[in-house]
Amino acid sequence: MSYRAPLNEMLFTLRHAAAIDTIAALPGLEDSNFETAQAVLEECARFNSEVIAPLNHGGDLEPATLANGEVSTSPGFRSAFEQFGTAGWQGIQHSLEHGGQGLAKLVATPCMEMLHASNMSFALAPLLTDGAIEALMVAGSEEQQARFVPNMVAGKWTGTMNLTESQAGSDLAVVRTRAVPQDDGSYRIFGEKIFITYGEHDLAENIVHLVLARIEGAPPGVRGISLFVVPKVMVHGDGSLGERNDVWCASLEHKLGIKASPTAVLLFGDGKFPVGEAGAEAAGAIGYLVGKENRGLEHMFVMMNAARFAVGLQGVAVSDRAYQKALGYARERTQSRDVAGSSAPVTIIHHPDVRRMLMTMKAGTEAMRALAYFAAATSDRAAHAADGDERARSQALYEYLVPIVKGWSTEFAVEIASLGVQIHGGMGFIEETGAAQYYRDARILPIYEGTTAIQANDLVGRKTVRDAGATARAVIAAIRATEEELGARSGEHFDVIGERLGAGRAALEAVVDFVLQEFNNDVRSVFAGSVPYLRLAGIVLGGWQMARAALSADEELLGEGADQGFLTAKIATARFYADHLLTQAPGLGTAVVAGGAGVLALTEEQFG
């Protein structure tokens, strides 16, 4: 089956979880109202279902190929990318000044979800281009913005992120790529970068690489890293393209999933394309410093943060695609009689455990989506609120949410995609059914753009300890307020949701207290529980969003012409989430507060 965007669910989440009307009230976002969002989402759904989604399975079978340093993308990708750019989808959230549509990140977020659900391999090129645009808009000079950003917004050029190297992994302190200053203010870049998504391809006429490198004489470690913009093809002052820069694709990785996205090893300054004067002295890719010397990691964090949010959204997207696939199969596959008795075999959706798995997929996807949209709205407030204090609070909240959206959503996506395979039974293990692709594609999500442990360590150190828990406690206070609302509603569902949410909130509160109390006393034990803390935060914040959705659905049920089936399903799904997922929170809290000793109990030799 092809992808069908869950428009009703997305629009409900925009209205209630993300309060889109309050976003449209912010200065500069007046056009980002619900009516505009609905029109944009409807067209986006059509485009993705007709143009992008049909290429997903074929790309998995026929990945990108490399010959003589040049990459040919999967059949159909080049035409689809041209249509994507021409239709303006790359520019939804980018400024009118640079050719974008100037809409809120909140409006762009469901569009991004649709793109990733349709074809994750394809969507990685726009994802990284968005991040590169953001980095240049924050740290780049006006000249760099004018030279590179408009064509990226227009979908004519793409962007990449060049961080790690073979000896570095996640430890960017040991990056070796060199930047040699030139008399004209440019730099010659020499080095190798690995795991560069869409580092080489045939989709666009130019690729704008953002590269971390060390200027000669820079301090050691991360304090000596600078950021450079290195175009694949040189760009003249008038915007026209010049000669090929000295950037060479040495190889493509062979991967478990997202096979159609070319993951490149790039050589900078290898001499394959000497730029400028002829001869060996012209080796070295020409790059331009972005921002200040030795502040490259800080500047790159703008792109990394954007990418981390987007990868979390990929978790939502692949979960929804896996759920749609599993639901379709469960409605069609006939096997075994009903446990309560039936005259003949029934479709497997009648079996209780299949129902449990489908409900886990459905509830988990809705919770992740609501939290991601809520975070997007928070980002818009951070950028556009008229009041400076509100901007600062919103920025702190968004930064607290990003590692949760990234880490929890991607880990959960792997579980959900695995359930999709399980619902298919043996046929799920057969590639032709398509369920396995979602599982394989999902598996990279907790790894790239910072592993789950990196997100969890960030949640502990930068997002909880650094502000003495102020942001975490503000979130906890908001959850308490929702508990009070639940207590004021009549009905068993709201009583149970409130009770489960309260227990989850209490567990989260205890963990935040533990982290703050023990960080300076027993830091290893604190970090031993960092991933369980992240998972706990995701489950509780997801439960909070599901509770808010249930309250909103209950209110809408009183309105004229209410969609009874959809709204009662929202409440029932929130109840399932409370019973089956929120109930995990106290156990995770115990694992964080009391589990460090067990994690650290063995010596290295005792591992065998």
pLDDT digit string (tens) for 293-339? 999 989 888 888 899 999 999 999 999 999 999 999 999 999 999 99
pLDDT digit string (tens) for 420-461? 999 999 999 999 999 999 999 999 999 999 999 999 999 999
Q: What is the predicted pLDDT for the residue at 213?
A: 96
- Cβ distance 77 to 262 under 8 Å? no
- Ramachandran class of 347: left when φ > 0, alpha when ψ lies in -120 to 50, beta otherwise: beta
pLDDT digit string (tens) for 54-87? 999 999 999 999 999 999 999 999 999 999 999 9
| 128 Cβ contact list (under 8 Å, min separation 6) | 158, 159, 160, 161, 197, 198, 307
Structure token digits, residue 472: 């975490």
Residue 608 and residue 600: Cα distance in Å, rounded? 15
- The mean per-residue pLDDT over the stretch 353-368 comes to 98
Structure token digits, residue 491: 């009905």
| 295 Cβ contact list (under 8 Å, min separation 6) | 226, 227
Structure token digits, residue 180: 């040699």
Residue 172 and residue 211: Cα distance in Å, rounded? 12
Residue 87 and residue 80: Cα distance in Å, rounded? 11
Query: Which string of DSSP letters, residue by residue, matches 150-191?
Result: HHHHTTSEEEEEE---TTTTT-GGG---EEEE-TTS-EEEEE
Query: Which string of DSSP letters, residue by residue, matches 289-305?
Result: EESSTT-HHHHHHHHHH
Residue 155 and residue 43: Cα distance in Å, rounded? 18
- The mean per-residue pLDDT over the stretch 578-607 comes to 97
**From the candidates 9, 165, 200, 449, which is the catalytic residue?**
449
Residue 531 β-bridge partners: none
Query: Does the pLDDT of residue 173 top 90, yes or no?
Result: no
Active site residue 449: yes
Strands 233-235 and 157-162: unpaired
Q: What is the predicted pLDDT for the residue at 277?
A: 54
pTM beyond 0.85: the answer is yes
Q: What angle do CA 485, 487, 488 make, to 5 degrees?
A: 65
- The mean per-residue pLDDT over the stretch 347-365 comes to 98
pLDDT digit string (tens) for 234-275? 999 888 999 999 999 999 999 999 999 999 999 999 998 888
User: Quick one: pLDDT band at residue 1, thresholds 50, 70, 90?
Assistant: low
Q: What is the predicted pLDDT for the residue at 281?
A: 54
Residue 159 β-bridge partners: 208
Q: What is the predicted pLDDT for the residue at 278?
A: 46
Calculate what percentage of the chain has a pLDDT beyond 90.
Answer: 93
